[in-house]
Amino acid sequence: MAIEPIEPTVRPAQRSDVPAIKSVVEDAALFPPEMLDDMIAGYVEGTTRDIWFVSEEDGHVVGFGYCEPERMTSGTWNLLAIGVLAKSQGHGIGGAMMRYLEDRLRSGGERVLLVETMGTPAFGRTRAFYRANGYTEEARIREFYEPGGDKVVFWKHL
């Protein structure tokens, strides 16, 4: 039986979303959840150009993304984190979040979106996701994260 795709609500994150984002971070094992408060502080205070966004299903946050402009570039952004609760994966939520971010950046006159991930077999689904969403593998830095853990950089022109 095929999983039905849904069209989730994707919107800018709000301060009140931080606990739910932390739950997604923990569920998806993206990074240590205790790092989140410092990472999102500038966004919720309005002191950065960072973009934080969430995806909702039935009024509950099931995914989030975080993107920032690349320093010393003109119109290049880097998606630093994107995650969806395990129970909500496979329904098109990640793709909807990517389209939301790309549209938002494009409408702001931005040019390029980069995404970095790990080159190990454990991240094969992640790399396939980016390829399926129109991203090209642009660079690979061998053993960047750890022995055998290449950094893979994906690129898309907006």
Domain boundaries, given as residue ranges, for the chain: 1-110, 111-158
Residue 3 pLDDT > 80: no
Residue 2 pLDDT > 90: no
- Alpha-carbon gap, residue 140 to 104, rounded angstroms: 27
Q: What is the mean pLDDT of the chain?
A: 94
Q: What would the pLDDT profile of 137-146 be if each residue is shown by its tens digit?
A: 999 999 999 9
The mean pLDDT value for 91-97 works out to 95
- pLDDT grade, residue 6 (50/70/90)? low
- Alpha-carbon gap, residue 94 to 77, rounded angstroms: 18
Quote the pLDDT of residue 8. 83
Task: Please answer whether residues 53 and 103 qualify as being in contact, where contact means their C-beta atoms are separated by less than 8 angstroms.
Answer: no
- pLDDT grade, residue 121 (50/70/90)? very high
- Which segments of 93-150 does DSSP mark as H helices, in order? 93-107, 124-132
Residue 117 pLDDT > 60: yes
CATH of domain 1-110: 3.40.630.30
Task: Please answer whether residues 116 and 151 qualify as being in contact, where contact means their C-beta atoms are separated by less than 8 angstroms.
Answer: yes
User: What is the dihedral angle through the alpha carbons of 72, 75, 80, 85, rounded to the nearest 10 degrees?
Assistant: 170
Model confidence, pTM: 0.91
The mean pLDDT value for 110-138 works out to 96
The mean pLDDT value for 112-125 works out to 95
The mean pLDDT value for 114-130 works out to 95
